[in-house]
Amino acid sequence: MTKNIIKITAILGFAAISLSSCSKENPPLVYFPDMYYPVAYDPLMKAEDAYSTHENEIPAFVKNNGATGLGPVNGTVVHDKDAVADVAANDRMTPDTYNAGYDESKTITASPLNPANQAKDLERGKVLFDRTCAACHGTAGDGQGPIVVSGAYSGVPKYADREITVGSVHYVLTNGRNAMGSYAGQLTPGDRWRVAMYVMNAFKGGIAPAATPAAAVASTSVTTSPQK
């Protein structure tokens, strides 16, 4: 009987110690608290450790007056280095707002990129098209890419048969159309314009020159072709 009491006491004591060591008032030691206790910092506020009350002394934050909104790391890629950021694909877009935006995009006949760099933009646009679009659209823009030829996918339009502008191609790249999804997550705003420029130059007989490097030129006619 005495042995059983000792065993029960030992078990209860061990359980009590285990529970107390895991309590919030007395947390166990962790070696990487910044990862163990993640916190979503407000980039405009001073940073505080999630596991303590003292102000964060991370040197980068201290140099930034305590704010966590730091600049890009050296060597990283700037998302909008061309300064042509646009509204990316919107999952809440209704058919009416999408179609209205698509019709409006047909009036854009020149990209907002600097026309002085057009040759380089077209060269990069070709590279990006071959990597990103040719699997379905084909390197000739005839809708006969390897995926279509294999029979796995069909209905990809031939650019030569479509009434499109550089603006409408960019709009479809940004928001998707029909079975084609948005490529806003794969291509930067500037690169989407470069691909659209390449499509118009290679498969539609050329692209209209931009009147200014900062804004696209609107044409006087609006077409309503159903696809990119």
> Do 115 and 167 sit in the same domain of this protein?
yes
Residues of the chain with pLDDT > 70: what percent? 59
> Do 197 and 99 sit in the same domain of this protein?
yes
The answer as to whether 101 is a domain residue is yes
Confidence of residue 62 (pLDDT cuts 50, 70, 90): low
Residues 195 and 88: their CA atoms lie apart, in Å, by 16
The answer as to whether 44 is a domain residue is yes
The answer as to whether 191 is a domain residue is yes
Which of 63, 82, 104 corresponds to the end of one domain? 63
> Do 116 and 187 sit in the same domain of this protein?
yes
pLDDT in tens, 146-203: 999 999 888 898 999 999 999 999 999 999 988 888 898 889 889 999 999 999 999 9
Domain residues for the domain of 141 are 95-203
Check residue 205 and give its pLDDT.
84
Q: State the average pLDDT for the chain.
A: 75
The answer as to whether 196 is a domain residue is yes
The answer as to whether 41 is a domain residue is yes
Find the Cα–Cα–Cα–Cα dihedral 108, 89, 84, 212, rounded to 10°.
0
Check residue 219 and give its pLDDT.
39
pLDDT in tens, 159-168: 999 999 999 9
Supply the CATH number for residue 139's domain. Answer: 1.10.760.10
The answer for 83, left when phi > 0, alpha when psi is -120 to 50, beta otherwise, is: left
The answer as to whether 23 is a domain residue is yes
The answer as to whether 213 is a domain residue is no
Residues 167 and 173: their CA atoms lie apart, in Å, by 10
